[in-house]
Amino acid sequence: MYPRIEVRLISWQRQCLQRIRDQPPTPRMGKRAVCLLLSADAVSTRLIAQATGLAPDTLTGIRRRWNERGMASLKDAPRPGRPPKVSPAYRRELKDALHRGPLAYGYAFTT
């Protein structure tokens, strides 16, 4: 049996979670929103786990963080890893070059 952590939503929180569920900024945020909406409707942990593909322990953590931090709990925590070698300026230039296409740079092909 998993610990029952109650989730209560007021109307603006429910509306915000529904928007995130319908158009999630990231897949993880969408799953968290679904978990919280179903939890607030007293759906069992087992059914939520089946619907979202999340482990029951993960659902417990999502509920616990919601009760501690509210809407801020939906965002992903920073992940460790190697920093990108490409600067934002280089990304902008690359994007511009891709939009212009090879013909603009003297190549005889279009793709």
Confidence of residue 50 (pLDDT cuts 50, 70, 90): very high
Instruction: Report the pLDDT averaged over residues 52-58.
Output: 94
Return the pLDDT at 101: 86
pLDDT at 79 over 90: no
Instruction: Report the pLDDT averaged over residues 23-52.
Output: 94
Instruction: Report the pLDDT averaged over residues 24-28.
Output: 93
Quote the pTM value: 0.70
Sign for the CA dihedral angle at 41, 46, 49, 52 comes to negative
Confidence of residue 1 (pLDDT cuts 50, 70, 90): low
**How would you classify residue 5: left for phi > 0, otherwise alpha for psi between -120 and 50, otherwise beta?**
beta
**Quick one: how far is CA 6 from the chain centroid?**
22
- Distance of alpha carbon 72 from alpha carbon 59, whole angstroms: 16
